[in-house]
Amino acid sequence: MADGKKKSGSGKSQTQNTKDVKDAKAKSALARSVESSKKQRAAAIKAKPKNAPVQQKRKSALLEYFRGVRTETKKVVWPTRKETVSYTVVVLIACAFFGLFLWGVDSGFLAIIREVFNVSMG
């Protein structure tokens, strides 16, 4: 130190340096994964034939759709015959109840309107 200047450190503690190193490693790992996904997408685009007919694409898309439907249908837990019959009976009873209820409300309103406005039907 002939010129009288002191060498000064970076001013960072050891833990700060360790944290910076970890951050740099994490960023480089993220950059590598982004770069590899870009390469994969580019390879997938290159692998697709550029002049593939639209009709073929539609057929394959339609087939893929129905394969997916078939796969999802296999996952469904279907009710037994007994459950189906009991659910159907409950629905029919509920429909009959609400139908009669609405018919009663409608008839009640009709009777009120006839009395209030002296309307005769027929």
* 108: in domain: yes
Does 113 map to a domain? yes
If you average pLDDT over residues 100-110, what whole number do you get?
97
Which tens digits make up the pLDDT trace of 15-64? 677 777 777 776 777 777 777 777 777 777 776 655 556 667 777 889 99
- Whole-Å CA distances, 10 to 7, 32, 84: 10, 29, 77
The answer to whether residue 95 sits within a structural domain is yes
The three-class DSSP label of residue 74 is helix
36-40, 88-92, 102-106: range with lowest mean pLDDT: 36-40
Contact between residue 119 and residue 113 where contact means Cβ atoms under 8 Å apart: yes
Please indicate, yes or no, if residue 104 is contained in any of the structural domains. yes
**45 is a domain residue:** no
**Residue 111 domain-assigned (yes or no):** yes
- The number of folded domains in the chain is 1
Considering the domain boundaries, does residue 92 fall inside one?
yes
Residue ranges making up the domain that contains 112: 78-122
Both tokens of 118, joined, read 């002296």
pTM: predicted TM-score of the whole model, two decimal places: 0.41
Residue 67 lies in a domain: no
